[in-house]
């Protein structure tokens, strides 16, 4: 006798039988929610939030890639849902044809989709936390660990996952409702076989797409510059629309891939005609999927390229600095003197050589600054006599410290920059220097550059004629006076010494020096005197604390942060760990999402065209031929978006590095070389997933 | 039993409109076995889909028993499909996850709780059509002919007013085709079933009482079976040949 007595029991049995069909949907839902919940958990965790400066470029990049990942997840979730319903529609159609009304089918169908979507989404959301915890701790265990990296969660991030979960369940119900609403039952039954061809464009669309991508990149990158130069205005947010041609171009490139492919078919128009046609008739979704994968691969590359471009230049800078230990301090601070440092060095078996130190003063320097017009949009450049701070050395002090001779004429100043003259914080427009204690001024003018990397920082550093230096620094109080010290280790350096010295050094400063490098005392005085509150004294200002002297924010921003080569070399990754690991995590998430989209798309192309493969078999196609067709389909899905995404990001990074100062430095060439290596590794991973996808599809289509 | 009057149906593809049925009129009496034949594109399947309310039609009337189908709401149409019409598809349309017995019972399950009486009827139908031994098997485990006979049994489980069959032998070999057609014959004889079948197959059509020939969306000719089956098949083939020559 039959075990099935009613609709509910029948639906349950059919669901059990359809487990295979549901698996892909469950997998996609689970993966999407896991990725979203893991990304949002990490992105909004206090661990990351305290490291990424609010409104900074890194934070913006992190949010932008999150949005991209979100779009990717939405696309593949909706697509997996579509696939699930394509299979389900046959069953629904039969039941409708046999007289099941909408009301009769609705409860079971809604129950099934809500259960599948809800359970997979909830499981994904919950798994996001262990997922991020495991990856983060793997980073800590295998790559780098620091006190900054202690992972804590702000569970408000669940709000994003919850929204996505509701979207998944809501969209599943909406799709179910859409199917139930259909009056043409034959359409429901045949749904699985309905094609979705894309509107064809000529063979020009691919090359035109590449041109548009290029044009969009140049326009998008150049638009902010044009705002400054041509319109004297800060670029508004909408200026990003100039990047729009990039997306149109990408669409056209993907369309070309789907419709025409990239090989010429003139000689043999029948070559690969089956795989091209298969792809073309699933065109709409394929193009959308390829587009999303391209963006995800590009996002992943953008994140991962951040590491070498930052690391390589920093490592080269540390390796080439002329002093093992270089630091500065205000003379009113009780900083360990040479004897104390040498005594500490002896405790670690170190002796020092080439010990050099010299005085400097901090003065107010004149210069051009941007002043907003009344409309709040445009600005003009205005000369201000005390635009900000400048560190000033005499010719003799400069020679003592650097060993270089500086011949500075009275009434002039020479500005320090790095060897490549690629440094931004120079001042070539000063007409006077101001003693901030006596307010005495010295007329001066720019006389050229001197080059010394260690003296280039956010505050301009200048060298004056010995006489001018003595005259302008007369009467200056100690809080405006400072000292540069540099020395080398005789023999092999010791990290424990550097660490001990660093902490001793930091502990010597009082709270008057507990400020970041971009806190400008001259600007504060000028603005306060004009009745304006200095922005550095407002709540939004990033406060730093001696108690967190090992933290990323402190080491990046403290005004007297010393340059200890061995400390920087060893602690660089550790102090930048959270930022780097976040970008590494973003890369992993983007790549997982992209690979899941590719895998799903390949599966859907294969499953939707199962009948074509069956027909081809009947027409005598050999397994080798069928295998070639499968590989050709999958290769287009994996290859083109990966190549376009990776190449676009490589070119964009090269363009950014070049556009920074109009040339490529050795460190930048080295960084791009590393990026190329990373591309090769990513390519291998993508190839491995492609192979595994082909194997799965071969099994599904029964190609032996 | 079935009255079709002035039936029109068209499809739209983009800006193009294709008229498929152009004013079809015919009747099927109770207990009659009627076939519709015609070349591809003549509108056979569209006619069947309109009668079974699977697709909406543009204009005209379809009356099944005392019920006028045009203007019925979705729930009422579903009830008609479930209780008054039995449908047999070319590609069987059995549910792969259910056994053959369960497939036969699906229209009853859709109706509500399955009682013992329904299960007995399913077994009787299966025995009548020679598939009693495969009732606990799944569709993937049986032949095409057996699948189609199971589909015929399913179409009869609710004792409908009419069975609508769309190319029921289209996917079968000649032996299975004959078995399926004989199944229809049994249903007509033993259960007084009314059958309306679309087919390309003159052999299958030759078992019917009457054959309607469709051409370009209109009824070209109707042929009554007044002789033995073989001669009627010859008559059908002649009529089809003549219809082709008129183009």
Choose the weakest-confidence range: A231-245, A430-444, A510-524, B110-124: A231-245
B contact set with A (CB within 8 A): 49, 52-56, 74-75, 78-83, 85, 87, 89, 93-99, 101-102, 105-107, 109-114, 119, 122, 154, 158
Instruction: Spell out the residues 6+ positions from residue A356 whose beta carbon is closer than 8 angstroms to its own.
Output: A400, A401, A485, A486, A487
Partner residue opposite B95 with nearest CB, options A6, A91, A104:
A91
When mean pLDDT is compared across A192-196, A584-588, A598-602, the lowest value belongs to A192-196
Lowest mean per-residue pLDDT among A95-99, A129-133, A313-317, A432-436: A313-317
ipTM of the complex, rounded to two decimals: 0.90
pLDDT greater at residue A358 or residue A57: A358
pLDDT at A526 over 80: yes
Residue B118 C-alpha, separation from nearest chain A C-alpha, in angstroms:
10
Does residue A12 belong to the interface with chain B, where contact is any CB pair within 8 Å?
A: no
pLDDT at A542: 66
Residue B175 confidence (pLDDT): 81
Task: Give me A611's structure tokens.
Answer: 């009948």
Q: What residues contact residue B83 under an 8 Å CB cut-off, 6+ apart?
A: A99, B111, B158, B160
Q: How far apart are the first and last CA of chain A?
A: 39
Mean pLDDT of A213-225: 86
Q: Which of A30-39, A567-576, B196-205, B219-228 has the lowest mean pLDDT?
A: A567-576
Q: What SS3 class is residue B109?
A: helix
Instruction: Tell me how far apart the alpha carbons of residues A699 and A149 are, in angstroms, rounded to a whole number.
Output: 44
Instruction: Say which residue the tokens 């003139």 belong to.
Output: A266
CA angle A492, A497, A501 (to 5 degrees): 135
B122: containing domain: 2-245
pLDDT score for A123: 93
CB A321 within 8 A of CB A565: yes
Burial class (CB in 10 A: 0-12, 13-18, 19+), B52: buried
In this predicted structure, the answer to whether residue B154 has a pLDDT above a threshold of 80 is yes
**Cross-chain Cβ contact B55/A186 below 8 Å:** yes
CB contact under 8 A, B54 and A184: yes
The residue in chain B having the minimum alpha-carbon distance to the alpha carbon of residue A188 is B54
Instruction: Mention every residue, 6+ apart, whose C-beta is less than 8 A from residue A538.
Output: none
pLDDT band at A272, cuts 50/70/90?
low
pLDDT at A2 > cutoff 60: no
Please, which pLDDT band fits residue B190 given cuts at 50, 70 and 90? confident
* CA atoms lying within 13 Å on the CB side of residue A132: 32
Is pLDDT larger for residue B50 or for residue A139?
Answer: B50
Reported as a pLDDT band with limits 50, 70 and 90, residue B208 is very high
Higher pLDDT, B243 or A57: B243
Task: Answer whether residue A398 shows pLDDT above 90.
Answer: yes
Average pLDDT, integer, range A131-136: 88
Q: How confident is the model at residue B54 (pLDDT cuts 50, 70, 90)?
A: confident
Q: What does the pLDDT average to over A237-250?
A: 86
Q: Are B63 and B27 in contact (CB under 8 A)?
A: no
CA torsion through residues A340, A341, A345, A351, sign: negative
Q: Do B93 and A95 touch (CB under 8 A)?
A: no
Contacts of A17 in chain B (CB under 8 A): 96-98
Q: Which residues of A touch B54 (CB under 8 A)?
A: 97, 184-186
Mean pLDDT for the stretch of residues A642-648: 89
Residue A378 has pLDDT above 70, yes or no: yes
**Interface test with chain A among B77, B90, B106, by most A beta carbons within 10 Å:** B106
Share of chain A residues as helix, strand and coil, in percent rounded to the nearest 5: 65, 10, 25
Chain A residues near residue B83 by CB distance under 8 angstroms: 99
pLDDT band at A380 (very low <50, low <70, confident <90, very high): confident
Residues 6+ apart with CB under 8 A from A172: A81, A113, A114, A116, A117
Residue A501's closest CA among A485, A519, A513, A512?
A485
Q: From CA A491, how far away is CA B109, in angstroms rounded?
A: 90
Inter-residue contact A194 to A284 (CB < 8 Å): no
Domains contained in chain B, number = 1
Region B84-105: mean pLDDT is 90
Model pTM? 0.72
Residue A357 has pLDDT above 90, yes or no: yes
Q: What is the pLDDT of residue A270?
A: 64
Could you say which DSSP state residue A233 is in? B
Does residue A452 register a pLDDT over 60? yes
A465 or A418, greater pLDDT: A465
Average pLDDT over residues A386-396: 94
- Flag whether pLDDT at A275 surpasses 70: no
pLDDT at site A4: 81
For residue B25, the domain's CATH number is 3.40.50.300
- Other beta carbons less than 10 A from residue B237's beta carbon: 14
Tell me what pLDDT residue A280 has.
67
pLDDT confidence of A194, banded at 50, 70, 90? low
Cβ-contact A607, A83 below 8 angstroms: yes
* Minimal CA separation from B225 to chain A, in Å: 31
* CA proximity to A296, closest of A46, A39, A526, A48: A39
Neighbours of A543 (CB within 10 A): 10
Domain spans, chain A: 1-194, 324-565
Cβ-defined contact of B93 to A94 (cutoff 8 Å): yes
What is the average pLDDT across A20-36? 85
Instruction: Express each pLDDT in A105-114 by its tens digit.
Output: 999 999 999 9
Q: What average pLDDT does this structure show over A394-398?
A: 95
A147 vs A553: CA distance, rounded Å: 12
Residue A505 tokens read as: 């050094």
How many helices and strands in chain A, by DSSP H and E? 22, 10
More confident residue, B179 or B120: B120
- Residues B155-161 have a mean pLDDT of 87
Q: Å from B29 to nearest chain A CA?
A: 23
Residue count of chain A:
704
Q: Return the top range by mean pLDDT from A230-239, A652-661, A691-700.
A: A691-700
pLDDT reading at A309 higher than 70:
yes
pLDDT band at B193 (very low <50, low <70, confident <90, very high): confident
Q: Cβ separation of A17 and B79 shorter than 8 Å?
A: no
Does A37 score more than 60 pLDDT? yes
- The span from the CA of A700 to the CA of A218, in Å, is 45
Could you write out the DSSP letters of every residue in A514-561?
A: -SBTT--HHHHHHHHHTT---GGGSTTSPP--GGGTTSHHHHHHBTT-
Place of tokens 């033993």: B190
Q: Mean of the per-residue pLDDT values for chain B?
A: 88
Q: Quickly state the pLDDT bin for A221 (edges 50, 70, 90).
A: confident
CA distance A187 to chain B (A): 8
Hey, what are B39's tokens?
């070349």
Residue A307 pLDDT grade (very low, low, confident, very high; cuts 50, 70, 90): confident
| Closest residue in A to B116 (Cα–Cα) | A1
For position A527, what pLDDT does the model report?
A: 92
Q: What residues of A are in contact with residue B9 (Cβ under 8 Å)?
A: none
Give B99's contacts in chain A (Cβ within 8 Å). 2
The string of DSSP codes covering A323-367 is -SEEEEEETTS----HHHHHHHHHHTT--EEEEEEEEEEEEEEEE
Query: Does residue A584 have a pLDDT over 80?
Result: yes
- What per-residue confidence (pLDDT) applies to B245? 79
Phi-psi category of residue B65: left, alpha or beta, with phi > 0 → left and psi -120 to 50 → alpha: left
Is pLDDT of A57 > 80?
A: no
Sign of CA dihedral B129, B134, B137, B141: negative
Average pLDDT value for residue range A669-681: 91
Tell me, what's the pLDDT at A276?
66
pLDDT at residue number A505: 95
Winning range, highest mean pLDDT, from A376-390, A517-531, A569-583, A619-633: A517-531
The residue among B214 and A308 whose pLDDT is bigger is B214
Average pLDDT over residues A545-553: 82
pLDDT at B93 over 70: yes
Residue B103 has pLDDT above 90, yes or no: yes
DSSP A312: H
Mean pLDDT on B13-38: 89
Q: Average pLDDT, stretch A52-69?
A: 77
Q: What is the pLDDT of residue A282?
A: 66
Q: In this predicted structure, what is the pLDDT of residue A396? A: 94
Residue of B nearest to A12 (CA): B97
Identify the pLDDT of residue A408: 93
Q: Are the CB atoms for A590 and A296 separated by under 8 Å?
A: yes
Least trusted range by pLDDT, from A126-130, A298-302, A606-610, B50-54? A606-610
- Indicate the average pLDDT of chain A: 86
pLDDT of residue A400: 93
What is the pLDDT, as a whole number, of residue A19? 82
B5-20 average pLDDT score: 87
C-alpha triplet A119, A125, A128: angle, nearest 5°: 135
Q: How far apart are CA A272 and CA A628, in angstroms?
A: 9
Tokens of A259: 């419709």
Quick one: average pLDDT of B183-190?
A: 84
């Amino acid at each position: 006798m039959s075990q099935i007595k009613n609709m509910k029991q029948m639906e349950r049995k059919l669901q059990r039988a359809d487990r295979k069909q549901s698996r892909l949907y469950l997998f996609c839902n689970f993966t999407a929610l896991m990725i979203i919940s893991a990304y949002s958990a990490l992105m909004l965790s206090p661990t990351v939030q305290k490291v990424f400066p609010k409104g900074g470029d890194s934070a913006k990049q992190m949010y932008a890639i999150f949005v991209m990942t979100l779009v990717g997840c939405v696309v593949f979730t909706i697509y997996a849902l579509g696939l699930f319903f394509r299979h389900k529609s046959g069953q629904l159609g039969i039941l409708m044809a046999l007289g099941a009304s909408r009301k009769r089918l609705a409860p079971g169908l809604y129950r099934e989709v809500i259960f599948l979507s809800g359970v997979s989404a909830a499981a994904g959301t919950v798994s996001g936390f262990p997922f991020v915890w495991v990856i983060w701790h793997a980073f800590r265990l295998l790559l780098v660990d620091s006190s900054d990296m202690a992972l804590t969660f702000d569970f408000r991030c669940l709000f994003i996952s919850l929204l996505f979960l509701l979207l998944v369940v809501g969209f599943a119900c909406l799709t179910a409702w859409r199917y139930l609403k259909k009056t043409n039952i034959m359409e429901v039954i045949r749904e699985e076989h309905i094609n979705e061809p894309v509107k064809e464009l000529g063979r020009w669309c691919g090359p035109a797409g590449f041109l548009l991508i290029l044009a969009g990149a140049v326009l998008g990158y150049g638009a902010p510059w044009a705002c400054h130069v041509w319109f004297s205005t800060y670029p508004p947010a909408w200026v990003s629309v100039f990047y729009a041609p990039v997306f149109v171009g990408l669409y056209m490139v993907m369309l070309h891939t789907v419709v025409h492919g990239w090989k010429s078919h003139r000689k043999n128009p029948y070559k690969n005609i089956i795989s091209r046609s298969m792809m073309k008739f699933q065109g709409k979704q394929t193009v959308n999927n390829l587009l999303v994968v391209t963006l995800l691969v590009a996002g992943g590359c953008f994140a991962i390229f951040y590491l070498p471009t930052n690391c390589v230049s920093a490592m080269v800078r540390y390796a080439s600095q002329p002093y093992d230990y270089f630091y500065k301090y205000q003379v009113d601070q009780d900083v360990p003197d040479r004897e104390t440092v040498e005594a500490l060095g002896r405790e670690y078996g170190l002796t020092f050589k080439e010990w050099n130190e010299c005085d400097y003063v901090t003065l107010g320097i004149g210069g051009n600054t941007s002043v907003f017009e009344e409309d709040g949009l445009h600005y003009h450049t205005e000369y201000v006599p005390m635009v900000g701070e400048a560190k000033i050395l005499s010719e003799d002090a400069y020679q003592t410290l650097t060993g270089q001779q500086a011949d500075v004429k009275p009434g002039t100043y020479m500005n320090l920059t790095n060897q490549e003259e690629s440094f931004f914080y120079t001042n070539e427009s000063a007409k006077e220097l101001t003693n901030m204690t006596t307010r005495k001024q010295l007329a001066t003018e720019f006389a050229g550059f001197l080059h010394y990397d260690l003296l280039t920082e956010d505050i301009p550093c200048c060298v004056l004629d010995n006489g001018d230096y003595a005259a302008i620094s007369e009467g200056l109080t100690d809080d405006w006076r400072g000292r540069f010290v540099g020395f080398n280790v005789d023999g092999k350096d010791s990290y424990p010494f550097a660490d001990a010295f660093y902490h001793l050094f930091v502990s010597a400063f009082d709270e008057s020096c507990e400020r970041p490098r971009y806190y400008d005392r001259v600007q504060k005085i000028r603005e306060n005197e004009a009745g304006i509150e200095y922005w550095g004294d407002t709540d939004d200002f990033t406060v730093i604390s001696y108690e967190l002297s090992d933290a990323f924010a402190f080491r990046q921003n403290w005004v007297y942060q010393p340059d200890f080569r061995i400390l920087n070399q060893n602690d660089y990754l550790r102090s930048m760990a959270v930022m780097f690991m976040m970008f590494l995590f973003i890369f992993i998430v983007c790549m997982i999402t992209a690979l899941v989209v590719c895998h799903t798309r390949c599966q859907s192309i294969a499953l939707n065209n199962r009948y074509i493969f069956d027909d081809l078999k009947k027409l005598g196609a050999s397994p080798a031929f069928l295998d070639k067709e499968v590989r050709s389909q999958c290769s287009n899905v994996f290859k083109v978006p990966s190549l376009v995404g990776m190449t676009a990001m490589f070119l964009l990074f090269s363009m950014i590095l070049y556009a920074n100062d109009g040339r490529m430095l050795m460190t930048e060439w080295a960084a791009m070389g590393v990026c190329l290596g990373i591309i090769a590794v990513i390519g291998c991973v993508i190839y491995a997933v492609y192979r595994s996808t082909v194997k799965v599809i071969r099994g599904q289509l029964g190609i032996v | 039993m079935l009255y079709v009057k002035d039936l029109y149906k068209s499809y739209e593809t983009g800006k193009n409109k294709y008229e498929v049925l152009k004013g079809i009129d015919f009747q099927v009496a109770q207990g009659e076995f009627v076939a519709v034949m015609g070349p591809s594109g003549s509108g056979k399947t569209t006619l069947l889909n309109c009668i079974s309310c699977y697709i909406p039609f543009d204009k005209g009337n379809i009356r099944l028993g005392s019920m006028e189908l045009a203007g019925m709401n979705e729930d009422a149409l579903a009830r008609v499909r479930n209780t008054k019409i039995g449908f047999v598809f070319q590609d069987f349309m059995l549910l792969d996850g259910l056994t053959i017995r369960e497939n036969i019972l699906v229209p009853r399950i859709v109706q509500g709780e399955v009682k013992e009486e329904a299960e007995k009827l399913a077994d009787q139908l299966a025995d009548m059509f020679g598939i009693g031994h495969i009732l606990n098997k799944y569709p993937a485990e049986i032949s095409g002919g057996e699948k189609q006979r199971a589909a015929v049994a399913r179409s009869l489980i609710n004792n409908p007013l009419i069975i609508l069959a769309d190319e029921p032998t289209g996917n079968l070999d000649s032996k299975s085709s004959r078995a399926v057609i004989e199944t229809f014959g049994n249903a007509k004889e033993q259960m007084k079933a009314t059958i309306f079948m679309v087919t390309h197959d003159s052999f299958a059509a030759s078992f019917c009482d009457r054959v309607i020939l469709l051409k370009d969306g209109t009824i070209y000719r109707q042929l009554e079976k007044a002789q033995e089956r073989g001669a009627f098949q010859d008559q059908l083939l002649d009529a089809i040949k003549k219809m082709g020559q008129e183009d």
